[in-house]
Structure 1
Amino acid sequence: MSTFRKRATAGAAAVLSLSLVLAACSSGDDTSATTQGKVQLEFWSWTDGIQQQVAVWNKAHPDTQVKYVNAAGDTVYQKLRAAITSGNAPCLAKMDGMNLATFAADGLLTDITKIAAPYKSRYTAAAWNAVSPGGATYGIPMGSSPLFTAYRADLFQKYGLKAPTTWDDVIAAGKAAQRKDKNVKIYNMAGEDPSTLVDLSWQSGAQWYKVAGDHWEIGFTSPEALRAGDVVQRLVDDNLASNASYADPGVFKTWDLGKTIMMTTSTWQLPIYDTNFPKSKGEWQLADAPLFDPAKPQTSSNFDTVGFLKGCKYPDRAAQFATWMSSSKESLTALTDPASKSGLFPAVKDVSPYVDKIIPKEMFNGKSDSAQIITTAASRVGEQWQYGPDYASMYSEMQKQWGKVMKKQMTVKAMLTHLQEWVLADLKHKGVKAVAAGS
């Protein structure tokens, strides 16, 4: 898990609040001017394989040279903040979606809305949302991780189960499996990781954060959010989920040994399972992610982005590089090759050229079309989800409450109610206009 950092001063958020709501507003100078002559850009990342692609770019683009800096480490976002404050920040940095939104709200990024507009059509709408919190664009999508299902087909057959189509099916399958073996679990929810609730809320159509005119609407207690919370609550109440910690090196055993028989997963994790599931290799099968409404099939995804930091002198050249890296066939063919060890899955609209080779063939039993399932997942990521201006700090607060939910010391509904109140108070304190959804 990443460690989420406290935001900068409330004053910075107040200044930026409107630019996070109105796409036409800019957080800085006009960045649409065309750069002339030779330039050098600095790019911080920690993705394997990127350095080699930077070298490919540099060879073909002598006028736009990119200096790659390996910024791996738990304190990378702290270092980026310090670099921006001191005026020594790189032009570009890898960022996850929630931290990009928070950096934008704190006035630490460059608004590239005009520059980025010609590249928007290359990426999925959900991916573009991740770099455009509130409408203004602060980065270029880098990679996605759409969710689908992996399950122990051998054990599903043993317990007389079918691959779940809906989340109600998951609950029913968990109960049916326990009637055969009281110790088996259908799913895993770690005590330190509330991502299950995020994913389910996204899949159910919830909008925890939504831009509405000149303000944010906060919807942690909407019917869609509570519907997602109810699934988590039933998994907890009926003891259907294991609680293996993702910080424990032995976490893989719960699936490899058949103690937990299903998971939602994504592309970057597949080679990890191939290495860490020696006993169950060949017994797994992929299926579409469970749905809330089969008439409106929808899944969720995390997104990696390339953020444009405050002070970037050549954002037009930076956009050319970032877009080439994350959308050109040349770059993506290399980065999606397992040999690159990048784990990157594209955020572009057509992922079909990059799917087959990322699937570890010995891992799955071949009884489902794994490539089609992954391609379908990429096309089903809900487009309504937005990262709000305090998403990272909200997530940290949610982590504190999540452990109580897993221990049955707090209900999911109570946690969502708390988060609703917490976010409204936090945004008010920071000078960002926000109201409860439906009010």
Structure 2
Amino acid sequence: MSHPWSRPIRTVVSALTALSALAALGACSGEGGQAPARGTAEDPVTLTFWAWTKGSKEVVDAFNASHDTIKVKFEEIPSGGLGGYPKIANAVKAGIAPDLLSIEYPQLSQFVSQGSLQDLSGFLTEDVKKKFLPQAVELTTLGGRNWAIPFDASPQVFYYRKDFFEKHDIAPPKTWDEFRTAAEKIKKAEPKTRIATFFPDDPTFFQAMAWQAGGQWFDTAGDSWRVDTTDPASVKAAEYWQGMIDDQLVSTASSFSPEWTGSLKQGTTVGYLGASWGAGVLSGIVTEQKGKWAAAQVPSWDAGRPASGMIGGSTFAVSKDSRKTAAAVEFALWMSTTEAGIKARIGASTSSALPAAPGLVPVARKAFDTSFFGGQDLYSLYEKAGASVDPDWLWGPSTGATNNALGDELSNVVGGSSTLRKALGTAHDATVADAKKRGLNVEDAS
């Protein structure tokens, strides 16, 4: 597969041609007719900013306290999956969207396809892009244009109860075969205990597994989207996890549910396949287990080739009707690429997310307390995981339809009335149908 930057078109195409669609969107970019990047201390440029990520208010407060020519008004909104994205979409349609938006990587292409965002290519020069993890830049690049400022990266890692593994002489698994063997040993040693959880309510969990296995659900050909959620790599991942579920080697509790958090506290779940931000989650849930946890690279299909997908991860995008693009980009870059911005985020929320700007990893490393993990150097692990993410993964134009269909079917999978292979097919059909309904050109590659 060619490198994404070499693809002639990497964007959503409506009934219009790809070129005209991008040209129309690109007309929103630049600074023509807009407020200047900086106002004055007496008359600052005032931005509006919507986000739900923890620490956002404190970051805004830190920016406002240190800047007098740009001021930011912050509004906390529900997380994307709990109503944040519909709120954003409705605001864009009504022409009342804020200047700056927090949008996760998976949803970015959908907002671009709807013409909701501005092309920021004029602001993301090569020097600016060099500050970011290449994979993060790839995930914000569509049609050879840049649509958002990367904020963090969220590669998968495996968190595990080091004390339990050592007690039962189980080594942290490096491959998925070793992971299954370890799961069998754990279940045999303590029948009520499981190595980790397959989250049935979170489609991004399984998507990351397909991504890590080498899946490629979306691509473009000419002026059309190519959709195939049933490619061989994804089927391989589906069959593996179907076996783990059928043999009851993993828990199937919903993510962050009382059942899941209770199993962590009781020690009946001794591992967590999560993202880089998961360290902060764990340390907040089971504070009494301080010093008992450690982290390792997520198991891969090839012991000699580490690989990781991403679970979540966020960006900052400018809404199409904003007339303060330059100021919004300046604020977004301050949050993403300055020591003060990263320290404010981590200090306020105990976030363990990997900065999308590698140069700020030392700042995050110093700001995040890893004593829960025995002082382990988590950020070196995260950096290796981030570098192993396949940059060819492309998110599709109908993320909501894909996730809704997949999520509904995953519940049936753990209930025994469906299979993961069927779930892949259901997600495929729903994605193609939704894209066509929205007037996009779609090539069904299944």
* TM-score normalised by length of structure 2: 0.86
1:161 equivalent in alignment to 2:189:
no
Q: 1:144 aligns with which of 130, 137, 153?
A: 153
Residue 388 of structure 1: how far off its partner (Å)? 1.0
Q: Which residue number corresponds to residue 333 of structure 1?
A: 343
Alpha-carbon deviation of 1:298? 1.5
State, as a whole percentage, how many aligned pairs show the same letter: 26
Change in Cα spacing, 1:234 to 1:297, as seen in structure 2 (3 Å) is: same
Q: What are the superposed Cα offsets for residues 349-375 of structure 1, whole Å, 9 maximum, x if unpaired?
A: 345313434654442245x64342223
Counterpart in 1 of 2:50?
Answer: 44
Residue aligning to 1:27: 25
- Could you say which residue in structure 2 is the equivalent of 1:8? none
Kept after mapping to 2: 8 A contact 1:17/1:105: no
Letter in 1 for 2:104: D
Partner of 1:3: none
The alignment status of 1:241 with 2:250, answered yes or no, reads yes
Q: Which moved more, 1:172-181 or 1:305-314?
A: 172-181
CA contact 1:206–1:219 (8 Å) conserved in 2: no
Pick from 177, 185, 192 the counterpart of residue 176 of structure 1.
Answer: 185
Structure 1 runs (4+) deviating above 6 angstroms are none
The CA deviation at 1:155 is 1.8
RMSD: 2.7
Which residue, out of 289, 300, 303, partners 1:280? 289
Conservation of the 8 A alpha-carbon contact between 2:133 and 2:358: yes
Match for residue 432 of structure 1?
Answer: 440
2:200 to 183, 188, 191: 191
Deviation per residue, 1:245-298 (Å, 9 max, x gap): 225235222123221222212333323322322453322221111112234322
Which amino acid is the alignment partner of residue 393 of structure 1? Answer: A
Q: Is the 8 A contact 1:150 1:287 kept in 2?
A: yes
The CA deviation at 1:111 is: 2.0
Per-residue CA deviation, residues 135-159 of structure 1 (Å, 9 max, x unaligned), is 4322111222222111112222333
Q: Which residue, 249, 272, 282 being the options, matches 1:263?
A: 272
SS for the counterpart of 1:311 is: coil
Counterpart pick for 1:305 among 315, 330, 342: 315
Specify whether residues 121 and 25 from structure 1 end up closer, same or farther in structure 2 by C-alpha distance, changes over 3 A only: farther
Give, as a single letter, the amino acid of the residue that structure 2 aligns with 1:264: L
In structure 2, relative to structure 1, the CA distance for the partners of 1:150 and 1:56 (3 Å cut) is closer
Cα 1:144/1:17, change in 2 over 3 Å? farther
Q: Deviations over 1:303-345 (max 9, x none)?
A: 11112112011222221221121111221233233x4445553
Change (3 A) 1:418 1:17: farther
Q: CA deviation at 1:202?
A: 1.2
- Give the superposition deviation at 1:19: 6.0
Letter in 2 for 1:408: G
Q: Structure 2: how far apart are the matches of 1:195 and 1:31?
A: 31
Number of residue pairs the alignment of both structures matches: 423
Q: 1:417 offset after TM fit, Å?
A: 2.1
Give the C-alpha shift of residue 223 in structure 1: 1.3
Secondary structure at the aligned position of 1:184 is classed as coil
Say whether the 8 Å CA contact 1:148–1:264 is kept in structure 2.
Answer: yes
- Specify the code of the residue in structure 2 equivalent to 1:31: S
The equivalent of 1:316 in structure 2 is 326
Q: Distance in 2 between matches of 1:28 and 1:134?
A: 11
State the alpha-carbon separation in 2 of the partners of residues 375 and 163 from structure 1. 19
Q: Give the counterpart letter for 1:232 in structure 2.
A: W
TM-superposed CA distance for 1:172, in Å, is 1.4
Query: 1:192: Cα distance to partner?
Result: 1.8
Q: Output the CA distance in 1 between the equivalents of 2:116 and 2:218.
A: 20
Q: Does the alignment pair 1:82 with 2:85?
A: no
User: Partner of 1:244: helix, strand, or coil?
Assistant: coil
Cα gap change, 1:16/1:112 in structure 2, threshold over 3 Å: closer, same or farther? Answer: farther
Cross-structure match for 2:421: 413
Report the secondary structure of 1:377's partner residue.
helix
Note if contact 1:16-1:105 (Cα within 8 Å) is conserved in structure 2: no
CA positional deviation for 1:82: 2.4
1:102 — aligned with what?
A: 110
Aligned-partner residue type, residue 317 of structure 1: A
* Structure 2 unmatched runs, 5+: 1-11, 40-44
Q: Is the 8 A contact 1:274 1:360 kept in 2?
A: no
Which piece of structure 1 moves more, 50-59 or 310-319? 50-59
In the TM superposition, residue 389 of structure 1 has moved relative to its aligned partner by: 0.7
Using the alignment, how far apart are the partners of 1:247 and 1:52 within structure 2?
A: 24
Q: Which amino acid aligns with 2:218?
A: Y
1:393 lines up with 2:391 in the alignment: no
TM-score of the pair, normalised by structure 1: 0.87
Instruction: Point out where structure 1 has 5 or more consecutive residues left out of the alignment.
Output: 1-11
1:69 to 56, 65, 75: 75
Residue 354 of structure 2 corresponds to residue 348 of structure 1: no
CA distance in 1 between partners of 2:49 and 2:122 (Å): 21
Alignment partner, residue 373 of structure 1: 381
- Shift of the 176–55 alpha-carbon distance from structure 1 to 2, 3 Å rule, reads closer
SS at match of 2:48: strand
User: Residue 4 of structure 1 corresponds to which residue in structure 2?
Assistant: none
Partner amino acid, structure 1, of 2:18: L
Give, as a single letter, the amino acid of the residue that structure 1 aligns with 2:138. N
Corresponding residue number in structure 1 for 2:228: 219
The 10-residue stretch of structure 1 (357-366 or 346-355) with the greater mean CA deviation from structure 2: 357-366
Paired residues of 2:354 and 2:379 also in contact (CA < 8 A): no
SS across alignment from 2:356:
coil
Q: Distance in 2 between matches of 1:143 and 1:19?
A: 30
After superposition, the C-alpha distances for 1:110-148 in whole angstroms (9 at most, x for unaligned) are: 222233344322212221233234543221112222221
